[in-house]
Structure 1
Amino acid sequence: MSIMKNKREVTPLQMFLFVLIVIGTGIYCIASGVWGIIENDKQSLNQVFTQSFEKGNLFEGSVEAASPAFLEIDHKIDHLIPVGNEYYYLILSDDYSTAITIRADKNFGESFDSVWKSTEKVIIKGRIKELPDQAKTRLNEVKDTFSKNGLEFHIIQQYYIDTIGSNLYKLRIVLGICILLEVLLLYMIIKKNKFDYHIGSGKIAQIVGIVGALVIFVLVIYLMTIK
Structure 2
Amino acid sequence: MSLFRNSSSYETRQASPVTAFIVFAIIVILSLYFGISGLIGGGKVSLDSAFESGMDKGSIVSGVPPYGAPQANLDYEHGINSITIGHEYYYMILSEDQQTILLVRADKHFGENFDSESYKNINGTSIKGKVRMTSNDVTAKFGELTQLDEPELKYIDTTYVSRSIKWFIIAAINILLIIFVALNYAIFGRNGRPSGLVGGIIGLLSVAGMLAAGYLLIYNILLN
TM-based fold match above 0.5: yes
| SS at 1:169 equivalent | helix
Aligned to 2:53: 51
User: Separation in 2 of the partners of 1:202 and 1:18?
Assistant: 19
Residue 142 (structure 1) shift: 4.5
Q: In structure 2, do the counterparts of structure 1 residues 10 and 158 end up closer, same or farther at CA, with 3 Å as the change threshold?
A: farther
Is 1:159 the counterpart of 2:154? The answer is yes
Residue 171 (structure 1) shift: 0.4
Is 1:105 the counterpart of 2:112? The answer is no
User: Separation in 2 of the partners of 1:218 and 1:39?
Assistant: 27
More divergent stretch after superposition (204-213 vs 174-183): 204-213
Are the counterparts in 1 of residues 45 and 61 from structure 2 also a CA contact under 8 Å? Answer: yes
Residue 207 (structure 1) shift: 1.3
* Paired AA for residue 70 in structure 1: N
Aligned to 2:195: 197
Residue 17 (structure 1) shift: 6.9
Residue 33 (structure 1) shift: 2.0
C-alpha distance after superposition, 1:94-136 (max 9, x if no partner): 2111101111100000011122111111111111111223332
Aligned to 1:118: 121
* Paired AA for residue 195 in structure 2: Y
* Paired AA for residue 212 in structure 1: G
| SS at 1:90 equivalent | strand
Is 1:222 the counterpart of 2:222? The answer is no
Aligned residue pairs total: 211
| SS at 2:87 equivalent | strand
User: Separation in 2 of the partners of 1:34 and 1:134?
Assistant: 26
User: Separation in 1 of the partners of 2:159 and 2:95?
Assistant: 20
Residue 11 (structure 1) shift: 9.0
Question: Which residue of the other structure, out of 70, 73, 85, is the alignment partner of 2:73?
Answer: 70
| SS at 2:67 equivalent | coil
Unpaired stretches in structure 2, ≥5 consecutive residues? none
Q: CA RMSD of the aligned region, Å?
A: 3.1
Q: In structure 2, do the counterparts of structure 1 residues 40 and 177 end up closer, same or farther at CA, with 3 Å as the change threshold?
A: farther
Question: Which residue of the other structure, out of 168, 176, 197, is the alignment partner of 1:173?
Answer: 168
Are the counterparts in 2 of residues 64 and 122 from structure 1 also a CA contact under 8 Å? Answer: no
* Paired AA for residue 185 in structure 2: I
Percent identity reads 25
| SS at 2:153 equivalent | strand
Q: In structure 2, do the counterparts of structure 1 residues 93 and 156 end up closer, same or farther at CA, with 3 Å as the change threshold?
A: farther
| SS at 1:128 equivalent | strand
Aligned to 1:137: 140
